[in-house]
Amino acid sequence: MYESNAPTFNPFAQNVAIVKEYFKRPRMLILGILSVISVCISLLVSFLTTSMVKEVMNAFLAMPGFAEAMGEEALSSMPDTSSSLGSTIGSLIVPVLIAVAYFLIYFKSKNDDPASTPQAGVTILYVLSIIELVIMSIASLVFVICAIIMFIMPAALQEDPTAPAFLGGVFAGLGLFFLILPVFGLISSISKLKYMGSIKNSLTSVNLENKGAKCYGVITLIGAVFSALTVLPFLLVGPLMSSLEQEVPELALLNLGDILGSFTLVIFLTMAVDVAYMAFDAIIALGYKKHIDYYKSSFTQAPPAQPVFNGYQPPQPTVPVQPVAPAQPTVPTQPTAPVAQPDFDASVINIQGEAPKANTCPRCGSIAKNDDVFCADCGTKLK
């Protein structure tokens, strides 16, 4: 019996090929590069913050009478810059893992080997999404408690006649902010977890999923726009500090204008990279939603053409059709002359119900009756 050596169709391999087709695009590599740049700038900000704190402290200590006014205990309680640097490096562990995950997803998807899958990078992002959701849930509880306190403060301020009238509105606005921010963060964390879980399930099951991708993309895009709007005020810090130094000569001794100017520029670059990172992350999520919808719609509309794996395309299912005999060619025939009907008396019927056979004259061919002895036309004797 004949056995085919062609590989059988595997739906798991089909889903892996579809997911890899999307994540091997350059935008995933750009997202990984932006993650690395963000990590590097964060380290730079940490070093600049450390140096700026040192310069400000030295400037204050150089002022006459400052050390005596502060006291030795206050000076010893000043924050240690080395400890802040260590905490900054520790906080960069998660961004580094995210950058590694993006590079794993891109290069594994770029590899044409069917055994190479981006599952490792997706798993890292999925685990980090779970941790982010847990942390965001705890933070949301804290924000809700702060919002309740802010909503109670205006009633307490009404009992104090010396309190400014606008403080009640300020506390109410802060309470509203503390309520909106955790809701926004929880929606983003939940949708991101569903989005990463959909990619993970698409790589390990026969189902293509894109749950949470659209919601996460929209939320992240809104966050990018909001972050872009908050970048602009940082550009005004340097000029404002320079104008204050002109009005207050004591501030000129601290040289805060130059220090804050360079620091503000680095903060601006950091936030600009973060905005670009969030925008690319949103575009990738929305593109993944569209990519999976395209294949799912093509599967439901008609039997899809099986994808080619290593040069082999599985045979398409066919419906058996009954064989039809070929049509025979027709040969044109000559028209035939009408046959002359014999002239006999149909009333003469024999016993069996058949018409009697007529006699034919051998000379003229005329028809004669059975009982005729001579031909009525030529007189030839018939019997």
User: 188: buried, middle or exposed (CB in 10 Å: 19+, 13-18, 0-12)?
Assistant: buried
pLDDT at 210: 92
- Give the pLDDT mean for 253-262: 59
The runs of H, that is alpha helices, within the chain are 11-23, 26-62, 66-70, 72-76, 81-91, 93-110, 119-158, 166-204, 213-231, 237-247, 249-252, 256-301
- The model's pLDDT over 33-57, given as tens digits with 9 standing for 90+, comes to 999 998 888 777 777 777 766 666 6
Domain ranges in the chain are: 18-297
What does the alpha-carbon distance between residue 254 and residue 257 come to, in Å, rounded to a whole number?
8
Amino acid letter for position 379 = G
Please choose, from the candidates 149, 153, 151, the residue with its C-alpha nearest in 3D space to the C-alpha of residue 163: 153
- The model's pLDDT over 64-111, given as tens digits with 9 standing for 90+, comes to 655 555 555 554 555 555 555 566 666 788 889 999 999 999 999 999
Distance of CA 277 to the CA centre of its chain: 16
Report the predicted TM-score, pTM, of the whole model to 2 decimal places: 0.65
Mean pLDDT (the chain, rounded): 76
Give SS3 for 50.
Answer: helix
What does the alpha-carbon distance between residue 131 and residue 143 come to, in Å, rounded to a whole number?
18
Of 33-47, 179-193, 249-263, 353-367, which one has max mean pLDDT?
Answer: 179-193
Give SS3 for 374.
Answer: strand
What share of the chain in percent tops pLDDT 90?
Answer: 32
pLDDT at 161: 74
Give the CA distances from residue 200 to residues 109, 203, 285, 372, in Å, rounded to whole numbers and listed in that order.
Answer: 14, 5, 14, 111
Torsion on CA atoms 341, 345, 349, 355, rounded to nearest 10: -20
Q: Is the pLDDT of residue 124 over 70?
A: yes
Give the CA distances from residue 22 to residues 114, 125, 202, 279, 284, in Å, rounded to whole numbers and listed in that order.
Answer: 15, 17, 13, 18, 9
Q: Is the pLDDT of residue 184 over 80?
A: yes
